[in-house]
Amino acid sequence: MSVLTARQEEEEDGQERLLLVGNTHLFYHPMAQHIRLMQMATLVREMTARQGEIEDKFGVRPRLVLCGDLNSTPTTATIRYLRGETIGPEDEVWEHLHVFGWGKRQGEGEEKEEGEAAATAAVLEAEEGKKGGEEGGDGKAVAVDVGRESRGRETLLSSRATPRVEAREEKEKEKNSKEKGSMASDGDVIPTLCLTRPFFSACGLPDFTNYVQGFVETLDYIFLESEAPVPLDPSGASFSVLSVGAMPTREEAGQDTALPSWQTPSDHVSILCDVRVE
């Protein structure tokens, strides 16, 4: 998190505008939407606490800017939460709560980057764990840490589209639908998450920000704190989006099969915006 001063012309009231910016990269695993949601809720809580401390100390309430690779598509719980939707115990985000766990491959005591094969194995291992739970096993899925291998990440993200995984996920959803809507088991304490000051996406919801073989989706965002449903303090500020950077089309991004390419050094597309703090 960083505190910045907004430099703007024509500030008639002479009041300083402060921004509190949080930049993050959320966990990647396809069965860990609930982990990403908890990471985001924790980050928002920390930013809000820091916001209050700054206001108490300087008498100026900084506006929140939250951005990064959230590894979450627009319809997932993490994004819905940021945009003001209430996420309760019945939400599908909790569907893998009891089948996903984080571990590391045993070897010589060190985690290894093992590329695409290890990434694929991680997903299949997780799905086998789910199957074991259905057949009376402990049902604990262990994800293998595959480091930062980009091809491995691509396989993990696109693995949800494989027939094997799709069939098992469909079966799991069917099973959950019979449990009267709640994803919780006896003894679980699942919070209801809701923001009093939601965020809005400064760049809207682009067609995509990540373009790799087998996976084309929006994962990156610039979120700005929006007007609250209750009246703001008169000295408070809100954002105006002045312009948004142009995005490539699918045809442009895919002209060399996928990203990265000779034109674009990353598998993610940069998102840009020009905003004014009112």
- Say which CATH number the domain at 31 has: 3.60.10.10
What is the domain range of residue 130?
Answer: 98-182
Q: What residues have CB less than 8 Å from 256, skipping those under 6 apart?
A: 262, 263
Which of 154, 182, 210 delimits the end of a domain? 182
Task: Give the per-residue pLDDT at 28.
Answer: 93
Residue 137 and residue 58 share a domain: no
* pTM for the structure as a whole: 0.69
Residue 238 and residue 170 share a domain: no
Task: Give the per-residue pLDDT at 60.
Answer: 87
In whole angstroms, what is the distance from residue 20 CA to residue 87 CA? Answer: 25
Residue 174 and residue 118 share a domain: yes
What does the pLDDT average to over 71-76?
97
Nearest partner of 98 among 162, 175, 188, 171, judged by Cα: 188
In whole angstroms, what is the distance from residue 204 CA to residue 135 CA? Answer: 44
Residue 103 and residue 73 share a domain: no
pLDDT in tens, 242-265: 999 999 999 999 988 999 988 888
Which of 182, 209, 228 delimits the end of a domain? 182
Question: Per the structure, how many domains does the chain have?
Answer: 2
Residue 198 and residue 86 share a domain: yes
Task: Give the per-residue pLDDT at 8.
Answer: 58
Residue 237 and residue 119 share a domain: no
pLDDT band at 278 (very low <50, low <70, confident <90, very high): confident
Residue 211 and residue 160 share a domain: no
